[in-house]
Amino acid sequence: MRREFSRREFLKVTAASLAGLPWLARTPGSSLAAVPEIPELFDAAGLPFGMAAGDVTPHGAIVWLRADGESEVSVHYGTEPSLRAFRATNPLRVSETADFTAKISIEGLEPRTAYFYRGAVSGKKPGPISRFVTAPKPWETASVRFAFSGDSREWYQPFSILDSVRLSRPDFFIHLGDTIYADRDWVATELNEFWAKYKANRKDPPTRRLLAETSLYVTWDDHEVANDYYGEHPLAKVGQKAFFDYWPVRQDSEDPYRLYRSFRWGRAAELFLLDTRQYRRPNEGTMLGQKQKEWLLHGLSSSDAWFKFIATSVPFTAPGSDRWGGFPKESEEIVTFIEEKKVPGVVFLAADVHYAAVTRVPRSPGLKEFIVGPIGAPLNRLARGVAERFEFFSSQTYSYGLVTVDGGGRPPVAELSIFDEKNSLLYRTKVDLSAADL
């Protein structure tokens, strides 16, 4: 079972170990509390960009770190917040080929459990302690709460909304793409310049606080490479390598650039993270490519999770050639499949357009899409939510989404809320399942 720690308990542990970051028990709408900044502890540990955990499963996680230079690194982890007792991964040598980053797989974990971890660089003291929560087993009727948003441009730091995300205490956070803006403010054209973009964003204090307290699932959009790019862009492989170097994403040894993947969180939820860039072929009318599309449709129809969340970096309901509106045949095929196969509990999550909205999916059996963002980028203030598809619209503030599925509810209900950067509620609604869907 998961254990929650109060601020007083955690600060006591921190004082004892001199290595930790406080997470605060807060709810949306509460005021932001001052959080001690301890970058000097990461610097002393040879980990100047902090750490991050991602692609969490019931039994494993990927931990990302970057060392100061070529060295051996490992991860200490355990269920005690002080890490007085811990296990350690085998040492791994980092090198300049990946900008001294490492992605270390931790396996053999217990489901639905809070884990604490820290990085250790050879010859230095271990770094501050971070945490993540493992997923429940697929058949467990556990509750889940997660947050999502997208679009983080360096020029708009600090990304203060990520402190608001942190205070909502999500089990995990989904970054829906445009994790950097390689083509804005100054343009990256070489690998070391793409790396520099990631390092600039990883220095952001709210980002580091969030990464210390929860785990991530991440996908890319266009600005990781270039505006509106798709397919075989000249900078695609360079930008994609930098992305994989700097995010805790599991890579397939047989297909190392594959990004689309799915994750199960008990009976409550299954996440389907799409890659809407790499396989896009406008002249063939496909956003996903045949293999990814077949994977998605098979996954939706075979999943017995109550809710299936499709995370797409570009909105499914938005018009325009760069979004799903430019691929009407493929989007209609997906909607028709969901309707014909009677797949219950499908919800679309998106970012990209720099406004918040809840939209009804046209020509669908009651499907909805939840659009949020940006984390930090120009607001799309000129946009107007007057089209018939809009149930809710706001373009005047940064935003993130929060999803809660109550594992004990019958029939199950997913509550979806949209908050601004001050954690003020902008909109809340629910998606219900009928008894026949269970």
List pLDDT tens digits, range 408-419. Answer: 877 899 999 999
- Please indicate, yes or no, whether residues 120 and 155 belong to a single structural domain of this protein: no
Grade residue 435 by pLDDT with cuts at 50, 70 and 90.
low
The CA distance from 373 to 318, in Å, is: 14
Grade residue 34 by pLDDT with cuts at 50, 70 and 90.
very low
Domain boundary among 133, 168, 184: 133
Over residues 72-100, the mean pLDDT reads: 97
What is the pLDDT at residue 25?
35
Does a structural domain hold residue 30?
Answer: yes
The pTM (predicted TM-score) of the whole model is: 0.92
Does a structural domain hold residue 138?
Answer: no
Find the domain containing 328 and state its range: 144-437
- Average pLDDT over all residues of the chain: 91
The CA distance from 235 to 144, in Å, is: 38
Q: Is 40's pLDDT higher than 90?
A: no
What is the pLDDT at residue 438?
59
pLDDT digits (tens, 9 = 90+) for 245-285: 999 999 998 999 999 999 999 999 999 999 999 999 999 99
The CA distance from 148 to 134, in Å, is: 18
Query: Can you give the CATH number for the domain in which 285 is found?
Result: 3.60.21.70
pLDDT digits (tens, 9 = 90+) for 362-372: 989 899 999 99
Strands laid side by side in the 215-218 sheet:
101-107, 60-66, 51-54, 215-218, 172-175, 144-149, 399-405, 413-420, 425-432
Q: What three-state secondary structure class fits 437?
A: helix
Grade residue 3 by pLDDT with cuts at 50, 70 and 90.
very low
Does a structural domain hold residue 45?
Answer: yes
Does a structural domain hold residue 417?
Answer: yes
- Please indicate, yes or no, whether residues 341 and 380 belong to a single structural domain of this protein: yes
What is the pLDDT at residue 208?
95
Domain boundary among 92, 113, 133: 133
CB distance 49 to 30 below 8 Å: no
- Please indicate, yes or no, whether residues 174 and 127 belong to a single structural domain of this protein: no
Task: Let me know the angle formed at the C-alpha of 134 by 128 and 138, rounded to the nearest 5 degrees.
Answer: 175
The CA distance from 166 to 215, in Å, is: 11
What is the pLDDT at residue 2?
39
Looking at the structure of the chain, the number of domains it has is 2
Over residues 192-212, the mean pLDDT reads: 97
